[in-house]
Each structure stands twice: as C-alpha cells, then as structure tokens.
Amino acid sequence: MVKTTVKYMTLFLLSIVFVSCDFITEPTVPGNYNLPVYSLKLSEENYGLLKKNAYSNLKVTARLNVNDKEQKVKIRHQGFSSRGNFKKNFRIVYEEGTDPFYDCSEVILNSQEIDPSMMKSFLAVEIFKHTDLLTFKIQPVVLYINDVYEGLYYLIEPIDETFFIKRNIKTLELYKAYNGFAFFNYNDLPDVRKGYEKKFPEDENYYTLEKLIAVTSSDGEDFPEELEKIFDVDKFLQYWAVTVLICNWDGVIHNFCLRRDAVSNKFEIVPWDIDRTFIWDDYRTAFLGDNYLIRKLMKYPQYRKMYKAHFERLLSEVFNASVLFPKIDSMKTVIRNAYYNDRWLNANSYDIDRESENIKQFIEGRIDYIKNQLENFN
C-alpha cells in the first residue's frame, strides 16, 4: 500500500462536456504523486453495483486505506449534474472512526471535472477565508479504486451538523439551496421546498425559512429593521461581493447553505460547491447581478456603503496579484504530477500552466472591472 507521510501535508501547506470512455487512456501505474492517497478496495459485486447506480445514493461497502490505516467504509455517488461525468464524485461514510485529515465521519471526494485548472475551488475557499463567513476544508488527494488510479481529486469537508459541532457553533437549522430555485422572494419561489432542502433537524418544519422569505419579499418602510432581526445582512453582502469577484454564478440561486444561529436566531449564508468560478459572466454575477435581494438592498444607502467597503477590503487584502498569484503557483507545483497522470485531464488535452494563466488573466480583468464599477458607486 502506498505510504503517505507528513511531508505531503507540508507540501500542500505551501500553498459538461462528457467524453466517451473510448478516449480515456489506460490507467497509470500506482504512485502517490506526493499527495495524500485514498485507496479503496471493493468486491467485484459491490464495484459493479456502484458503477450501475451512478444516479442513485446506493451505498456499498468498501475498505479504505489512508496513511497505512485501513477502515471499513460505505461509498456512494455524490452530486447532481456531475453524475454523468467520466470522473465521478463520491461520498465516503466511515463505519467506525473518522477521516484522518478532517476528523469527521463523512467526507467528499470531488473530481472537480468541470474545472480544467483543478484549482478554482481551492482559490475560492482561500478568498472566502478573508470574510466572516464559515468555510469548509479542502485539499488535493489522489484516488485509487482497486489499485487503479482514478485521478486527482479534492477531499472536501461536508457542511452538515458535525461541521458546526466541531467548530462549537450552535446551529438550530440548516438548509441547502438546490435545484436552481433558491430565490429570496415569493414571486419566484411560491414554495420554499422547491429551492431549499432542509438538512437538519430532519423534519418538514420550514416555518422559519418561510418567515425569512416573507420578510425579504416585503416592501414596507421598516424592511431593513425587520430583515436584520432574522437575517445577517452583512454576511450576505460579504458573500455577494466574493461571488461577484470570482463570478460564482452557480451560487446565485443554487449551491449555498442557510444556517440559523442558536445565539442570534438569525439566518446567515454559508458558501458551498464553488467550482463553477473564475469564468467571466456579465449577467448573473455582474456588479449587482441577477439577484432579487441584492438589488433590493442596494436601494438603501447603508447597505450600498457596506457593499462598497467589502469590495475595497477584499481587493486590498486578498483579491490581487500579490496574494493570489503565489497561491496559484504553489498549488500548481503541489498537484502537477497527479494532474498530468490524470486520464480525464489528458483526454481533454488540458494543461495546468495554460489554465493557471487563464485564471491570472481573469483576476486581473476582474480587478479592473470592479474598480471601474466602484468609481461611481456611492
């Protein structure tokens, strides 16, 4: 079994178009590529069941070896639109014990197949770390199934009840925005269940979320006062500023979480699934963008002032070449070998140097765009 040592973690810290299987090269010989190795062993029967059930959440039993420690786990497919991809996403559920890196009972192995750079989620998390928003952990690993190299993956910490317990953050409720219908007004979302899935507690009581959408839909003179009783507006504006900066167009009406804090009793937004980023978008993530709530908030001078201040701080602290370019170059070094031996990336003739330059050009162009927008925004 391939060994993973502390030096791999040190190295890390330095920092859908479907293609037919006919075009995917043969698996490479086993190697660790200087990254943590997640090696799964499945019986022939369970492997067949997993392959046949890509569009279900059927779990099969497997043995997982990480750091020369073998554990019994369950594995199932993960995600929604990604299930037709050649490289699948997986959720690992530990039968006993926890993940050696994140110390939780479930982790996600995400292929990041829609990202030819294999760096966008990592960079987005790095930027969100400069806000007051909660962020999940993420790190590159390599995946083997029955000794076959499945490619470069990212180990992602799920946002669930354990996520908040580990951080000693008391959370009353958690909802995940999904289905592309996570609107903040009843005109576009008559039934909140169509756009939000309740993760915990596991019940059908959507009353507090319905109350939030009722408030965001209202137009009374006391709108700001009533909204701030139930919603952390400042954190939403921070989320939206980063969303605009990185063109997180998938996170406008989809792929974010809402948690209700046990202390403040307010909802706050939590970023999630941020790989559809760093691609220019002039519509959903324009300076204000295609979002009912942000446009409504911008009618109030106090929120415009806050929004502008978040952009100015982000441009100064993190969204600039001096901070992000070294992160890109460091991560490129960390994942290079695993990247060039990934059959999916090879089949599409992706090049990590070219893709990293594309991200750098995006960042430079986005900085200019935002600065121009801020000049006349008061």
Q: What are 155's strand-pairing partners?
A: 109, 139
Question: What's the rounded Cα separation, in Å, for the pair 303 and 60?
Answer: 49
Give the sheet arrangement for strand 267-271, strand by strand: 196-200, 171-177, 256-261, 267-271
Please tell me whether the peptide bond between 100 and the residue prior to it is cis, using omega within 30 degrees of 0. no
- Closest C-alpha to 318, from 276, 366, 259, 377: 366
Distances (CA, A) of 202 to 161, 171, 197, 260, 284: 11, 14, 10, 14, 32
Sequence-ordered alpha helix ranges (H) in 3-74: 6-12, 44-52
Domain boundaries, the chain: 6-129+135-156, 169-316
| Lookup result for tokens 């502390």 | 6
| Residue 127 C-alpha from the chain's centroid | 12
Average pLDDT across each block of 10 residues of the chain; the chain has 378 residues. List them in order.
38 34 40 89 96 92 94 91 81 95 96 95 98 97 95 97 96 95 93 96 96 95 96 98 96 94 98 94 88 94 97 98 98 97 94 98 98 95
DSSP state at residue 193: G
Phi and psi at residue 158, to the nearest 5°: -70, 150
Q: Could you tell me what percentage of the chain is helix, strand and coil, using 3-state DSSP and rounding each to the nearest 5?
A: 40, 20, 40
Q: How far is the C-alpha of 62 from the C-alpha of 42, rounded, in Å?
A: 5
CA distance 120 to 162: 25
Residue-level pLDDT at 67: 86
The pLDDT score that the predictor gives to residue 18 is: 30
* Contact between residue 293 and residue 239 where contact means Cβ atoms under 8 Å apart: no
Outline where the chain has alpha helix (H). Answer: 6-12, 44-52, 120-128, 161-166, 207-217, 223-230, 233-246, 292-297, 301-317, 321-340, 343-347, 352-375
What is the predicted pLDDT for the residue at 32? 75
**Sequence-separated contacts (24+) of 361-364 with Cβ below 8 Å:** 362/247, 362/278, 362/279, 362/280, 363/278, 363/319, 363/320, 363/321, 363/324, 363/325, 364/321
**Rg of the chain's alpha carbons, rounded to an integer?**
21
Return the bridge partners of 261, or none: 171
CA 357, CA 316: separation in Å to the nearest integer? 21
For residue 231, the 8-state DSSP code is B
Give CA–CA dist 259/264, Å, rounded.
Answer: 11
